Amino acid sequence: MAKILLINPPMLTKEGKYIDGYQGVRPKLPPLGLAYLAGFIEKGGHQVKIIDGMAEMLSAKEIARISNEFDIIGVTSITFLALLAHEVAKEIKQEDKDKPVIFGGPHATVVPEDVLSDENIDYVVLGEGENTFAELVEVLASKKDVSQVRGLAFRKNGKVIFTEPRETEKNIDNFPFPARHLLKMHLYRSSEVRSRRHPALHQMSSRGCPFNCSFCSNKIMHRCQLRMHSPERVVEEMQILIKDYGAKEIHFWDDCFVFDEARALKICEMIQRKNVRISWDCEATINRVTPPILKELKKAGCFNISYGIESGSENRLRELGKAYVTQEKVKQVVKWTREAGLSVRGYFMFGFVGETKEEMEETIKFGKELNLDFATFSLLVPLPGCKDYERAKKEGSFDPYYWKKMILSEISFPLQPVYVPKGITAEQLLAVHRRAFREFYFRPKVILKKLYELRSLSNLIGSIKGAYVMLKKSNK
C-alpha cells in the first residue's frame, strides 16, 4: 500500500491573501477531478489525502512539508494556474528530490513536453487520470518499468518518452463516486448570485463533449467523446449529496446534461419517483433542448439552465465551429426556457481571433435583447491544443507561452488580455468587456428584477458584495 498526496495548487500571496484580491466574493468550488481520482485509488487499497490549496489557505512551502509524509505526489493544473503548480513541485523537490511528482489535468495533457522541461516533475498522466495514475502507483511501488504504463509521458536520458496511448473508459459508471470525504466540504461555497440555497454542492453527470469548438481543448483532453453516467448513478449521487453533505441545492457542472433526451427524461422521472426533493441547475447546448424536456426538467426541480451563446455574430459563430447556433435559434430556446418557468444564463466571449469591434458590439446588443436572467462575459484565452491557439500565434498580439509568465486568476475581469485581435488595442478590448457587464446588469429592469428575486438576508448581502465588485471592476 502506498501513501499518496493529491494537490490542487494554492492561489495565495505571501501575505496569505488570494492572488486576485477579492476573497469573500469568489466562490470556492471543490476539485471534483481530484476527488474522482482519489476515490479510484482508495478502491485499490492505497491511503490517499487531498490538499486543496484553493480552499485550505496553505502555502506551497506548507504543502511541501506535508508531502514528507507521503510516498507519491500528484498535482493537477489548468493552464491559467500552471505557474502555481510548478511552484508546488519545486518546493516538494526541495524537501525531497527523490520524491516522485506526477502532473495531470488539462494543461499537462496538452503540453506534456513543456511540463517535463521542469526537472521537478517526473511524470505526466495524459488525459483521463484514473486508470493511468493507479497503474503508475502500482509500478512505482513495486519498482517496475514505467514504460509499460499506457497513457504516460516521462523523461529518460534527457528525452521525453511517450508510452502507448490509453483508451478512455467507455462506461464511466465503473469509476467510484468522488471521494468528497477527503475534502473539507465545509470550506466550499457557491456564488451567492448563482445559488438560491446553501449548501449548494456540485456534481458531474457526464465527461467530455462531442463538439469541437475552436476555443476549447476538449479534442485533446477527451477526444471529442461524450460519456454519460447512467440515470441511476446520477440520482444516487444526488441522494448522497443530500444525505451525507446536507445539500440544499445541486449544480451540474458538465456541458451536456440534456444532450441525450431519453437519459435526461429518465433522470427527471427517477428524481420524482424517488422523491428527491432538491433544487438544481444544469448546462445545455442550444440545439439539444425542446419544450417537452424543459417542462420535465422544471417538474423535477431544475430552476436554471445555462447556454453557451458566445457571440451575437453568426459569422463569428461559424468560425468558432458553432454554426448550429443562430440568433433565431437562441431567441427561440431562451423563450422556451422562460416559458417552462426556468431562469436562463448566457455565456458570451470577446476577443476571438479575427473578431472585429463591430462584432463585439453585436454581442453586447444581442445579449441585452435576449430575455436572460444572467450573462457572463469573458475574454478569449487561447488554450494550447485548440484551434484558436494556433490561429492566435499567426494573427494579433499573443505570447504563446503566457502561462510561464502570468497567473490568470480573474477569469471574469482579467487585468489584461492574454490575446488581442488585430485591429484593436488591449485597452479597447478591456473597455468593451467592462462595458458589456455594465450595460447588461445596470439596467433598471434588471436591477428591479434582482431585488424582487432576493430570497434571504445572506443572499442580499452576497448580491451587494457581488454588485460592488462588478461595478468596481467594470469601471477600471
Residue 306: beta bridge partners?
A: 283, 345
Q: What are phi and psi of 168, to 5 degrees?
A: -75, 150
Burial (CB count <10 Å: 0-12, 13-18, 19+), residue 423:
exposed
Pinpoint the residues of the chain covered by CATH 3.80.30.20: 190-474
Please state, in angstroms and rounded to a whole number, the distance separating the CA atoms of residues 167 and 433: 40
pLDDT reported for residue 22: 46
- DSSP string covering 412-429: SS-SS-SEE-TTS-HHHH
Asked whether 75 and 85 are in contact (CB, 8 A), the reply is yes
Q: Cα–Cα distances in Å, from 164 out to 14, 72, 122, 265, 313?
A: 41, 23, 18, 39, 42
* Strands 159-162, 279-284: pairing kind: unpaired
In percent, the amount of the chain with pLDDT more than 70 equals 88
Q: Residues 379-438: pLDDT tens digits?
A: 999 999 899 999 999 998 999 999 999 888 766 677 789 999 999 999 999 999 999 999
Q: What is the pLDDT of residues 93-126, one digit of tens each?
A: 999 999 999 999 999 999 999 999 999 999 999 9
- Please return the burial class of 368, using the count of CB atoms within 10 Å of its CB with bins 0-12, 13-18 and 19+: middle
Query: Rounded to 10 degrees, what is the CA torsion of 144, 148, 153, 157?
Result: 60
What pLDDT, on the 0 to 100 scale, is given for residue 411? Answer: 67
| Mean pLDDT, all residues of the chain | 89
pTM of the predicted protein model: 0.91
How far apart are the C-alpha atoms of 447 and 180, rounded to whole Å?
37
- In the predicted model, is pLDDT for residue 468 greater than 50? no
How many other β-carbons are positioned within 10 Å of the β-carbon of residue 165? 12
Per-residue pLDDT reduced to its tens digit, 220-267: 765 668 999 999 999 999 999 999 999 999 999 998 999 999 999 999
Mean pLDDT of 13-17: 59
**Contact predicate 393/373, CB 8 Å:** no
pLDDT above 80: residue 355: yes
Measured in whole angstroms, the distance separating CA 102 from the mean position of its chain's CA atoms is: 21
Q: What's the pLDDT score for residue 413?
A: 73
Q: Kindly state the average pLDDT of the residues 198-218.
A: 89
Residue 464 has pLDDT above 70, yes or no: no
pLDDT (0 to 100) of residue 12:
66
Interval 281-300: pLDDT, tens: 999 999 999 999 999 999 99
Cell 451567492 sits on residue: 192
Quickly name the fold that domain 190-474 has.
Answer: pyruvate-formate lyase- activating enzyme (3.80.30)
| Cβ 34 vs Cβ 57: under 8 Å | no
- Residue 218's pLDDT is what? 72
Nearest partner of 363 among 289, 441, 432, judged by Cα? 432
CA atoms within 13 A of residue 272's CA, in its CB half-sphere: 12
Q: Where in the chain is the domain with CATH 3.40.50.280?
A: 3-162
The one-letter amino acid at 22: Y
Give the whole-angstrom CA distance, residue 374 versus residue 360.
18
Tell me, what's the pLDDT at 212? 84
| pLDDT on residue 223 | 62
In DSSP notation, 138-168 reads: HHHHTT--GGGSSSEEEEETTEEEE----PP
d(CA 268, CA 270): 5
pLDDT at position 219 over 80: no
Q: Which fold has domain 3-162?
A: Rossmann fold (3.40.50)
Collapsing DSSP to helix, strand or coil, 283 comes out as strand
The model's pLDDT over 19-31, given as tens digits with 9 standing for 90+, comes to: 654 444 567 889 9
What pLDDT does residue 286 have? 93
CB burial of 3-31 (b: ≥16 within 10 Å; e: otherwise) equals ebbbbbbbbbeeeeebbbebeebbeebbb
Helix axes 130-141, 32-43, angle to 10 degrees: 50
Residue 467: is its pLDDT beyond 60?
Answer: no
Whole-number Å distance between alpha carbons of 455 and 97? 53
Taking only Cα atoms into account, the Rg of the chain, rounded to an integer number of angstroms, comes to 22
